[in-house]
């Protein structure tokens, strides 16, 4: 447990140890200032563990997990997770605990995440972003493939001031690619995936709609979307379908979609799994079946996105409900 590692950590960060060393077969001091933690469960009891930001890293093995982290007890510095299929990074900086969660990761041997509670030096924005958060970001390293991303916020982030009078659904994830912050299609979590409470202006989380190539980006933060950034009029989208063959609401109808013959329409379940897509226009013919087969989807809410001209930017998004 973490409270038993204090003396080891001090030696690790201030000494000059380069050969690997094991302590009770669960903690290793590796080369390049890595403290490798192989405990099944690491519990945070009190105090912040500071990791040298000039090269130190605290790592979790593929099977390691943790609990009991908050503003007064977390890891401040670079955190590494091996085989990060699904993992919440207990990251913080400047006395603020700000976790990041990665799920559906594939092809990544390990991922490094560092939370930074100061403005990022890069400020260029894509056209669909109005602003990025001025006070924090997460840097990411060694990602080599895909993952679904969840970012968090708390009362210290002043999201209400960041949004101004805009609604919470104008919040988005932004990723830094080649010196420009770009929108990551994302959705506010009704129940935060990080602390399991309802997402509000005071605290919550937001997740990318699907897994995407993490290695295309060097940092992530929260952003405000431009109002009407797509430059088009929103379509009228049916909020529900009842595919029971009674001739009423059997198909999902998007009024006006015929004006966009290149439109890409996607529908996802609450876990972010793609359940339907139309990549070259939509014919208002989907009846709630799974992908291209006849298997009916379960009753419940589903999230949709529409890219009007297939340029990679989401122009409209929302929820539909399937019932029978």
Q: Decide: residue 133, CB within 10 A, 0-12 exposed, 13-18 middle, 19+ buried.
A: buried
- Judge whether 86 and 114 are in contact, CB under 8 Å: no
Predicted local confidence at residue 24, as pLDDT: 47
Predicted local confidence at residue 25, as pLDDT: 56
- Judge whether 152 and 117 are in contact, CB under 8 Å: no
**Taking the model in full, what pTM does it have?**
0.71
Alpha helices by DSSP H, the chain: 6-14, 159-163
Predicted local confidence at residue 260, as pLDDT: 83
Rg (CA), the chain: 22
What is the rounded CA–CA span in Å between residue 218 and residue 175?
A: 7
Predicted local confidence at residue 322, as pLDDT: 95
Q: Decide: residue 30, CB within 10 A, 0-12 exposed, 13-18 middle, 19+ buried.
A: middle
- In 69-217, the DSSP E strands lie at 75-76, 79-82, 87-89, 92-93, 96-97, 100-106, 110-116, 129-132, 137-141, 146-153, 171-177, 180-184, 186-188, 204-208, 212-213
What is the rounded CA–CA span in Å between residue 245 and residue 317?
A: 27
Q: Which domains does the chain have, with CATH numbers?
A: 2-225 (no CATH), 236-322 (2.60.40)
Report the candidate in 273, 215, 195, 272 with the shortest Cα–Cα distance to residue 84. 215
Taking 50 as the pLDDT cut, the residues of the chain under it are: 1-24, 229-232
């Amino acid at each position: 447990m973490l409270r038993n590692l204090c003396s080891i950590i001090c030696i690790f960060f201030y000494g000059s140890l380069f050969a690997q060393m094991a302590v009770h077969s669960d903690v290793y001091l590796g080369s390049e200032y890595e403290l490798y933690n192989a405990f099944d469960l690491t519990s945070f009891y009190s105090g912040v563990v500071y990791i040298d930001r000039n090269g130190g890293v605290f790592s979790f093995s593929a099977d390691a997990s943790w609990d009991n982290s908050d503003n007064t007890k977390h890891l401040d510095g670079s955190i590494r997770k091996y085989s990060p299929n699904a993992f919440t990074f207990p990251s913080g900086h400047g006395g603020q605990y700000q976790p990041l969660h990665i799920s559906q990761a594939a092809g990544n041997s390990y991922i490094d995440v560092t939370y930074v509670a100061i403005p990022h030096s890069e400020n260029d924005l894509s056209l669909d972003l109005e602003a990025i958060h001025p006070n924090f970001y997460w840097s990411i390293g060694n990602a080599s493939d895909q993952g679904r991303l969840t970012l968090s916020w708390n009362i210290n982030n002043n999201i209400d001031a960041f949004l101004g009078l805009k609604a919470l659904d104008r919040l988005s994830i932004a990723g830094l690619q080649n010196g420009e912050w770009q929108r990551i299609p994302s959705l506010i979590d009704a129940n935060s995936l990080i602390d399991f409470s309802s997402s509000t202006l005071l605290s919550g989380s937001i997740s990318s709609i699907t897994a995407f190539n993490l290695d295309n980006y060097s940092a992530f933060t929260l952003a405000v979307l431009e109002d009407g950034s797509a430059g088009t009029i929103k379509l009228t989208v049916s909020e529900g379908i009842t595919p029971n063959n009674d001739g009423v609401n059997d198909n999902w109808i998007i009024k006006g979609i015929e004006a966009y013959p290149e439109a890409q329409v996607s529908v996802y379940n609450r876990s972010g799994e793609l359940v339907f897509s139309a990549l070259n226009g939509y014919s208002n013919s989907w009846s709630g079946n799974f992908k291209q087969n006849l298997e009916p989807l379960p009753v419940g809410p589903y999230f949709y996105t529409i890219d009007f001209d297939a340029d990679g930017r989401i122009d409209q998004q929302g929820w539909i409900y399937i019932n029978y």
